[in-house]
Structures are given as structure tokens and as C-alpha cells.
């Protein structure tokens, strides 16, 4: 035990925080965030002016409060932030942020908290902060983010026109701090019926009540022909959209109701009441300031919380934590029912299991009938899709894949899933095509994120496979790069148009640019002898850039010709003029010169930022090899730039070498 005479400062200048709750002492996420916030967790007795940490107004808080009073120490109250995790803490999910308050606790109006001081006294007029707030509010609604995000955003809600009454868990600290009890909830329900005669009343049950962790204040006995309990796990944003009015005591959903455009009727005294954005039954008299939604959000979500980045193990800002939560939420929503997969080569199954099987292990089944009979979502490797796979989700490598070739059995850091088609098949719409169309208009925060991503990619010289190699000296003049492809690749078979071979592409470029410096870059798989497409280009091209780093090469050319290669997209990121002879996913949006037959449905002009957002942020799923979890694209960019990265195991390395020796027999394993 540490002496009460210990100094207030711990190692590295951190302030000692004396705690009497095992949750702080465990080597978990809460302790880590507290330590990163500048506190040294300690046991023992604090000296005068020391700090005692307690968890909100929890049942164990009295221990720390008693010690603080006896030792003339200050109480620091810690609580979960307003965005927490996919599932509730009682399900084992770790928080992504904490509220660390030296004045009070945000849900207890008896003493002004640090949050109340921010909302009452801070100018809240910084343009950058308010713009971040507006973007984050819109992003929360678009991605259906809430404190807990473990719900299906497409789950059905009742027909619009209902009055929403929000239940909470019995004994919730925010309820008791507001002086409320079951009678207050019954009063709220009575007022809701009285103020909306004839309207349907929907009582939204708390998720922890539905999962059996804690009882709520309402029961079936409170229902009648107009009033019903609603227990489905749905998006609160969709639920708010259909409501004509919202009633709450002190629920966090009341805060989200404000963000959704409601002016909720409040029967408690939560932090968001008293600022002109709620109708308050029991007003807090000292709160007299009028705030905008953006100002309230900025105070509560940007200035007040301590946010944690689980991928970089550091504190971070709100947009960064939202990126992480959105990625994990997307993975849970897609994967928590389990997948059955078809057409997956044996070496791919372990990496796929890491990405898609974290919540429920994947099942692999080749027979379409038996796969459907399992009653799970069904996926098939896009290149293996055949008759009978029409209703399966297509899966393919992502556009920032790895440092090394898939043909060399390097596991991917990104994968795409497509419920409509697949991005390289222009004969039918793909999910990527829909996303590109949706991104014709971007919010300022989305433009900023896409632009920052482009800068990061180009500064780091990243591409799909990130292979290093010397770039030969290039003659001066108009430099035109022609990129070769694997000639039996699905993107050639489905989207190449009239020009279908590397030789024909190079000849077309030479005919169109007779005086240019023509540079031919073979595909890495072809260079490695693993795929078809090799030919002698020396008689047509001025330079054959064998095994050259494509990212370095793109920085030295003025124009690029391609059939359908992803390199065309990578060239657009670097401001290179791109000519397509096929119909790759990035053709037809006003950013390329298209000489092939691009589908007529692609006729809108899309900005480069819109194309980047759809292609690299919205469409793929990314996997962090360090934490073993879903992550945003920015984390994969950092891993590719700085490492460490996954490598194939010994068995895969041996298999890769064997494939190279038997490249002419590739049909046996592809």
C-alpha cells in the first residue's frame, strides 16, 4: 500500500489517482484510457489535495467518496462516453472513450459537472470545432451510430406517426440523480397520451432489459390498445425518423433525438436539458444559455470526452474514434449471424476466418443447396461464382491488399463484399457503382477525409500490392505508361471490350501516341510466371519497366493506358491522365478518357473525392493484423507504410514456390 504522504505526481508527471474499485485496477481498457489521460492508478490513501477516482455514482462510489472526505482529497468521477461499443459492457465489449470529470458527473444535476461548465461558459464559437460537430452528427445518422451499435439498421420499425416514450433500466444512476422513479415514468406516459390523443404510443425498451441484464420501469401491464412495448433492436435514428414526438426522463436517446431534429419532452434533468433544445418538465434553473444543436454536440462529444484509438493505442479525436467504431460496427452487423462460404481456396480460408468469422466461425460448403440450407448469409469468391450462386454475396480482394502478391499467398488486409455484382463486371450494376453514384455530393468532412487519404497514399507511395523495384531511367518527352494485366483475369473476360490482350493495348497506345515515350509495365503476377499475359514488348515500347515500383513509376509519367487495371484508379489519385479501353469501375464518371463501351447507366460526373470515398472508404472492409479486428482504411495505410504486416506461414510459402514451378498447370488449382 502506498503511503498517504506520497506526492500527487506519479511517473512521467502523471497524477496519482487512488481507486477502490477493482475495475480500475484490472489491466483493461478503462485503466489504459485513464493512464493515457495522465493518471497513475494507485492504491492506498491520498494526501491532502490528492485525487480519488470513482466510477460515476456506482454502488462502489461511496468507498472513494468516504476516503476523499476523510483525507481532504478531490473526487474524479469516471463514466463511459456517449459512444461506447458495439454491445453493452455486460456483454464484454470494451469502451472507446471515457468521461473524466473533476467537478461532478454529467447526469447528476445537483452539482455542476465539467460538461455543464463547458456548455454554460465556453464560447463554443470555433468554426473548425462546429464544422466537425456538424459533420459528425450527419455521420452518426448515416452510419447509424449510437452508444451501442449492435443492431441492424435495416430492421423494420413501425409505420411513422407514433409517439416515442423511452424506457430506462431500473435504478439507473441518471434516473435517480434526477429524482425520478417508476411514478415519474408513469406520469410521462400519461402526459404523452394526454398530449397526443388517438396517437400510437411506442415504449422503447432499453437494450439491457431486452437482453435480461436489468429490468426496466415499464411492463406489459402498462400497455393498452394505444400503448405497446417495442423491444426490437433497431436503429435509434430510424426510430426517431418515424416519431412525431419524443418523451424521456434522462436517456441518452434524448440527446440523439435532439440531433435527429426533435425537441424532446424531458421529465428528468439530463445534461442536454436546459439549453433551449428540450421541453423541460423539471428545469435546472441555473442553466439559462441557449445553444444550437452543433454547440451542444461539440461540448458533449468533442470537448468533454476522452476518446481512445484501439488500433494505435493512444488518445484521439472524435472523427478518429468514429472511424474505428464504424468499422467494427460494420463487421458485427455483417458477421454476427455467421457466414457460409463457397469457392474459397484452402489457403484463403484461415485469413477469411479472421476477417469474417470473429463473432461466429465461418462454415465452408461447396454445394449450393447445402449452403443455402444452413440458413446463414452466403458468400462466394467472385471469380468462382457460377450457376447456382446468383443469390450469394461476391467476395474479392480489396484495392489496398497487401505488401506482396495474392498469387504468392500473402493474406489480404482488405476485402470487398458485393451483394449486387462485383466491381470488375460492368455487365450488371455492382454495390460499388451504387456507392459512387451516392457520393456525387459529399459533406465537407467527407471531402476532407478523402483528400487526406489521397495525400497519405501518394506520400507513402502505396498501391494494391506495394512491391518494391527499381524504375529505369526514362527518356524525356511525353511519357505514356501502358500497364499489362493477367489476360485470363475475370476483369479482362468481363470488362475489357475489343482490346483484350496486352500486345493489342500497347499497339493501340503506340498508334494513338506515335511520338510519345511509351513505357510498358507487365503485371507482377505475369512477371512472377504465375499468370498468363507475357509477350515481347521491346519492339513496340521504348522502355519495358520490368519489376518496377508502380507507385514510383506513376509519379514520372504524364498519361496511362489500361484495359481495366486498378492502376488506372491509382493514376487518377496522382493526377495522371487516364485512358481506358475497357470498362473498369472508375470509367464513365467524367474522370477518364473512355475508348471502350462504358455502360450507359454511368453518365453522372463524380469528383475524384467522391470516387475515392466510395472506392476506398465505403466499399472495402479492412482488417488490422496487429489487433486482429476490423479497422478503417487509415489504419491499413499506416500498417502498409510502417508495418508490421502478416506473412504467409511456412506451408503457404512452400505452396507458393510449388505454384511457381508448376505455373503452366495453374488450371489445376485456380
Strand-pair partners of 559 = 480, 577
Query: Using one digit for the tens of pLDDT, what is the confidence trace for 213-223?
Result: 899 999 999 99
CATH 1.10.287 fits 121-304, yes or no: no
Query: What is the spatial order of strands in the sheet that 39-42 belongs to?
Result: 39-42, 15-19, 51-55, 74-80, 97-101, 306-309, 314-316
Look-up: residue for cell 476516503? 67
Does residue 56 contact residue 100 with C-beta atoms inside 8 Å?
A: no
Which residues of the chain carry a pLDDT beneath 70?
A: 1-13, 405-408, 646-670
CATH class in words for 436-642:
alpha beta
Q: Do domains 121-304 and 436-642 have the same CATH topology?
A: yes
Look-up: residue for cell 434533468? 269
Domains of the chain: which residue ranges?
A: 121-304, 436-642
Does residue 47 contact residue 16 with C-beta atoms inside 8 Å?
A: no
* Number of C-beta neighbours around residue 181 at 10 A: 14
Instruction: Round to whole Å and give the CA distance between 610 and 587.
Output: 13
**Residue partners of 294: CB distance under 8 A and separation at least 6:** 130, 133, 134, 137
Q: Give residue 410's pLDDT.
A: 83
Strand-pair partners of 342 = 380
pTM of the model: 0.92
Instruction: Count CA atoms within 13 Å of residue 384 on its CB side.
Output: 18
Query: Using one digit for the tens of pLDDT, what is the confidence trace for 215-246?
Result: 999 999 999 999 999 999 999 999 999 999 99
Burial 67-93 (b: 16+ CB within 10 A, else e): bbeebebebbbbbbbbbbbbbbbeeeb
Instruction: Round to whole Å and give the CA distance between 627 and 411.
Output: 15
Amino acid at each position: 500500500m502506498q503511503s498517504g504522504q506520497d506526492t500527487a505526481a506519479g511517473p512521467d508527471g502523471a497524477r496519482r489517482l487512488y481507486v477502490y474499485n477493482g475495475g480500475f485496477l484490472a489491466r483493461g481498457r478503462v485503466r489504459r484510457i485513464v493512464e493515457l489521460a495522465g493518471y497513475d492508478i494507485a492504491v492506498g490513501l491520498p494526501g491532502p489535495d490528492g485525487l480519488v477516482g470513482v466510477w460515476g455514482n456506482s454502488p462502489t462510489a461511496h468507498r472513494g467518496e468516504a476516503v476523499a472526505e476523510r483525507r481532504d482529497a478531490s473526487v474524479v468521477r469516471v463514466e463511459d462516453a456517449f459512444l461506447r461499443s458495439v454491445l453493452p459492457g455486460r456483454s464484454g465489449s470494451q469502451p472507446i472513450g471515457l468521461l473524466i470529470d473533476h467537478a461532478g458527473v454529467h447526469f447528476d444535476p445537483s452539482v455542476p459537472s465539467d460538461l455543464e461548465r463547458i456548455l454554460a461558459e465556453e464560447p463554443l464559437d470555433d468554426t473548425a470545432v462546429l464544422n466537425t460537430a456538424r459533420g459528425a452528427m450527419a455521420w452518426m445518422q448515416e452510419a447509424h451510430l449510437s452508444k451501442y451499435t449492435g443492431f441492424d439498421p435495416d430492421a423494420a420499425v413501425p409505420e411513422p406517426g407514433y409517439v416515442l416514450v423511452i424506457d430506462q433500466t431500473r435504478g439507473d444512476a441518471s434516473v435517480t440523480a434526477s429524482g425520478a422513479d417508476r411514478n415519474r415514468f408513469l406520469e410521462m406516459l400519461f402526459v404523452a397520451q394526454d398530449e397526443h390523443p388517438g396517437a400510437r404510443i411506442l415504449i422503447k425498451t432499453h437494450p439491457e432489459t431486452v437482453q435480461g441484464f436489468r429490468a426496466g420501469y415499464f411492463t406489459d401491464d402498462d400497455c393498452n390498445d394505444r400503448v405497446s412495448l417495442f423491444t426490437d433492436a433497431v436503429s435509434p435514428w430510424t426510430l426517431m425518423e418515424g416519431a412525431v414526438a419524443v418523451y424521456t426522463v434522462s436517456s441518452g436517446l434524448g440527446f440523439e433525438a435532439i440531433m435527429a431534429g426533435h425537441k424532446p419532452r424531458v421529465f428528468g434533468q439530463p445534461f442536454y436539458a436546459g439549453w433551449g433544445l428540450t421541453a423541460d418538465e423539471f428545469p435546472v434553473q441555473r442553466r439559462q444559455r441557449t445553444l444550437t444543436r452543433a454547440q451542444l454536440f461539440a461540448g458533449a462529444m468533442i470537448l468533454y470526452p476522452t476518446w481512445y484509438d484501439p488500433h494505435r493505442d493512444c488518445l484521439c479525436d472524435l472523427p478518429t474514434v468514429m472511424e474505428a467504431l464504424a468499422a467494427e460496427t460494420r463487421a458485427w452487423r455483417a458477421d454476427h449471424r455467421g457466414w457460409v462460404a463457397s469457392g474459397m481456396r484452402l489457403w484463403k480460408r484461415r485469413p477469411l476466418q479472421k476477417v469474417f468469422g470473429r463473432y461466429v466461425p465461418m462454415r465452408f460448403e461447396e454445394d449450393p443447396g447445402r449452403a443455402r440450407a444452413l440458413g446463414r448469409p452466403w458468400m462466394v469468391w467472385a471469380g468462382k461464382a457460377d450457376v447456382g450462386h446468383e443469390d450469394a454475396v461476391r467476395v474479392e480482394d480489396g484495392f489496398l491488399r497487401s505488401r506482396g502478391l495474392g498469387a504468392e499467398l500473402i493474406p489480404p488486409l482488405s476485402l470487398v463484399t458485393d451483394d449486387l455484382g462485383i466491381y470488375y463486371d460492368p455487365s450488371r450494376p455492382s454495390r460499388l457503382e451504387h456507392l459512387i453514384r451516392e457520393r456525387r455530393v459529399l459533406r465537407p468532412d467527407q471531402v476532407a477525409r478523402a483528400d487526406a487519404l489521397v495525400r497519405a497514399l501518394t506520400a507513402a507511395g502505396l498501391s494494391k500490392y506495394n512491391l518494391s523495384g527499381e524504375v529505369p531511367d526514362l527518356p524525356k518527352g511525353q511519357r505514356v505508361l501502358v500497364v499489362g494485366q493477367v489476360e485470363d483475369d475475370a476483369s479482362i473476360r468481363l470488362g475489357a471490350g475489343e482490346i483484350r490482350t496486352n500486345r493489342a493495348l500497347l499497339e493501340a497506345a503506340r498508334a494513338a501516341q506515335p511520338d510519345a515515350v511509351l513505357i510498358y509495365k507487365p503485371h507482377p503476377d505475369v512477371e512472377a510466371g504465375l499468370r498468363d499475359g507475357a509477350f515481347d514488348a521491346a519492339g513496340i515500347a521504348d522502355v519495358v519497366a520490368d519489376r518496377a515500383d508502380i507507385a514510383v513509376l506513376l509519379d514520372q509519367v504524364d498519361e496511362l493506358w489500361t484495359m481495366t487495371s486498378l492502376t488506372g484508379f491509382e493514376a487518377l489519385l496522382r493526377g495522371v491522365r487516364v485512358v481506358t479501353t475497357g470498362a473498369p469501375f472508375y470509367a464513365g464518371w467524367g474522370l477518364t478518357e473512355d475508348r471502350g463501351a462504358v455502360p450507359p447507366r454511368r453518365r453522372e460526373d463524380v469528383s475524384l473525392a467522391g470516387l475515392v470515398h466510395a472506392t476506398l472508404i465505403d466499399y472495402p472492409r479492412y482488417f488490422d493484423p496487429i489487433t486482429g479486428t476490423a479497422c478503417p482504411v487509415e489504419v491499413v495505410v499506416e500498417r502498409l507504410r510502417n508495418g508490421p504486416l502478416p506473412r504467409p506461414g511456412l506451408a503457404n510459402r512452400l505452396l507458393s514456390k510449388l505454384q511457381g514451378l508448376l505455373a503452366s498447370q495453374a488450371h489445376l488449382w485456380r
